[in-house]
Chains A and B, each alone.
Chain A
């Protein structure tokens, strides 16, 4: 490609030849075929136009001979027309197509977590040392009774509706088998089981090998109904109805036929090689009443033994939407913010649709409290929860628990190259090619996820201890523990917090 259609590569491969021992690991490891050995010249050469900067070659080069740098070949950009914007124009002018991308909104929109600061005890209400004192990070998700009630014998009534028990307020959110590999799913399933939390099937059904992790699995029912059948519903600990997701609110999903191999085909219950297209809406849901029907249908199908989650993307009227869901019979509402989304999405949707999770969470929690229905549901939030501090802030803003996906795949080796849509993930995560998928050994994957969550749990306990709080339940909705910095009055009002210094 040359002339008007030529776009200079985003990245350059820097190979320090004095360190290169011609082991050709880079060549073997790059599914994009960036590196090639030229026997005549006895050297490795690069085709940078194919490089996505996934860092696989850099990570495996045994002599540290490689680095990938951002190209400094600059377009004539300016504050209005930046390089990416110009390049996107070029791409669309050449192809006429919708731009695709993945791994969440990369735009420099506000990250409210970073403008929230956490309190700590000084002098009064002493802080607690988590190494010496018991700390409770366990949470239960599901409908809670308004008040304690006793039976005719004066005994406490404990017959709650079904609950999910989490050892820490974090779960792995939905990523379907198909969008991610078998080994990625195995890693998540094993880690969730070991940690005492949950992972989520996404809209891809549940591979038969993973039924044994069912007690730590949330099974998802989405608009395409892929892989949904009685055993699937029975297998999970909870059922999630996906109405929307943060990466692409308002639109459906599309798994290309190339990724639908024998296993994915069987698991999704669709023909091999066929595109799996999830419609934008559920064709049977046009109102809260319709949603209520599906919630109760699923409960009936599973004899009311499993909590039902309704997942929606954070959009403009989220508080009203959540209020409706809380009245639909759902036990848990999951809200996905606009920065979330581990999957492939149209770029414009990804970058321009939805609202920040922090604001959505604060307004939903407040609205449900105001309406006296907060105990009807638990709130789970996702959409770029990046650290234990984000978790603590989310809980203080009113969340019962968080969903993480990007952080989880990072733990599995993802380097955020944002080219999941190609199916050629060099780290074995977002791919169905066997030779790529086997690059993720679930022994390592599960161990790293467990490590990450264990580290977060320790940090959460430390932050709680600092605030003088020894139970995560006591932090939930405790907005006095948060202060804002650099926020305007509207933002502070929606978040329900004071400015730092107040």
Chain B
């Protein structure tokens, strides 16, 4: 399955992925309208220090601990992608407690927000990868590790 992969060697630390993500999932067609003056709730975040930067988003684990641990059943798998039914989520953040990558965080309403690979927001491909100026984030098929 296609996943979002990050190669920190090429990450500029520009944080554009965060903005592209928040915009892609805003439901707005204009980035300024979507983001200006608003708190950003991206589903990808850039970590790092002065020398190293890289983006982290959901790895869409083959056997996701978050899906197993979700108390409401909001987190679920859709053809390999870990998705969230936000109307079911009660905001307990057990997913935050178990995600080994720190890739899930609460949204403005308290319910968890996570990368869903832009599968259902009309983008067609993850906005973080499409907008990465240096191909540090790519969306592609790579060999699945045997578990």
Q: Answer whether A and B touch in the complex at a CB cut-off of 8 Å.
A: yes
**CB atoms of B135 and A444 under 8 A apart:** yes
What is the bound-complex CA distance between A20 and B37, given in angstroms?
Answer: 9
User: In this assembly, does B97 line the interface, its C-beta being within 8 Å of a C-beta of chain A?
Assistant: no
Contacting residues, chain A, for B11 (C-beta < 8 A): 438
User: In this assembly, does B15 line the interface, its C-beta being within 8 Å of a C-beta of chain A?
Assistant: yes
B32's partner among A18, A28, A29, A59 (CB-CB below 8 A) is A18
**CB atoms of B31 and A63 under 8 A apart:** yes
Contacting residues, chain B, for A422 (C-beta < 8 A): none
**CB atoms of A443 and B15 under 8 A apart:** no
Contacting residues, chain A, for B15 (C-beta < 8 A): 23-25, 28
B136's closest neighbor in chain A, by CB? Answer: A441
B46's closest neighbor in chain A, by CB? Answer: A28
Tell me the minimal C-beta distance from B54 to chain A in angstroms: 11
User: In this assembly, does B118 line the interface, its C-beta being within 8 Å of a C-beta of chain A?
Assistant: no
Contacting residues, chain A, for B35 (C-beta < 8 A): 21, 23
**CB atoms of A25 and B134 under 8 A apart:** no
Contacting residues, chain B, for A440 (C-beta < 8 A): 134
Q: How many residue pairs, one in A and one in B, have C-beta atoms under 8 Å apart?
A: 58
Contacting residues, chain A, for B14 (C-beta < 8 A): 25, 28-29, 60
What is the bound-complex CA distance between A56 and B50, given in angstroms?
Answer: 20
**CB atoms of B20 and A441 under 8 A apart:** no
User: In this assembly, does A303 line the interface, its C-beta being within 8 Å of a C-beta of chain B?
Assistant: no
**CB atoms of B135 and A441 under 8 A apart:** yes
B36's partner among A21, A24, A435, A441 (CB-CB below 8 A) is A21
What is the bound-complex CA distance between A392 and B139, given in angstroms?
Answer: 40
What is the bound-complex CA distance between A59 and B134, given in angstroms?
Answer: 12
What is the bound-complex CA distance between A28 and B14, given in angstroms?
Answer: 6
* CB under 8 Å from chain B, chain A span 167-185: none
Given contacts A438-B9, A439-B134, contact A62 B16 (CB under 8 A): yes
**CB atoms of B16 and A60 under 8 A apart:** yes
B30's closest neighbor in chain A, by CB? Answer: A63
What is the bound-complex CA distance between A454 and B35, given in angstroms?
Answer: 40
Contacting residues, chain A, for B16 (C-beta < 8 A): 23, 25, 60, 62
**CB atoms of A438 and B131 under 8 A apart:** no
What is the bound-complex CA distance between A25 and B46, given in angstroms?
Answer: 13
* CB under 8 Å from chain B, chain A span 414-461: 434-435, 438-441, 443-444
B36's closest neighbor in chain A, by CB? Answer: A21
Contacting residues, chain B, for A438 (C-beta < 8 A): 9-12, 134
**CB atoms of A439 and B12 under 8 A apart:** yes
A21's partner among B13, B19, B134 (CB-CB below 8 A) is B19
**CB atoms of A434 and B32 under 8 A apart:** no
Listed from nearest, the 8 A-B pairs whose CB atoms lie closest are: A441-B10, A21-B35, A441-B134, A21-B36, A23-B19, A25-B14, A63-B32, A441-B135
Q: What residues make up the interface of B, taking CB atoms closer than 8 Å to A?
A: 9-16, 19-20, 23, 31-32, 35-37, 50-51, 131, 133-136
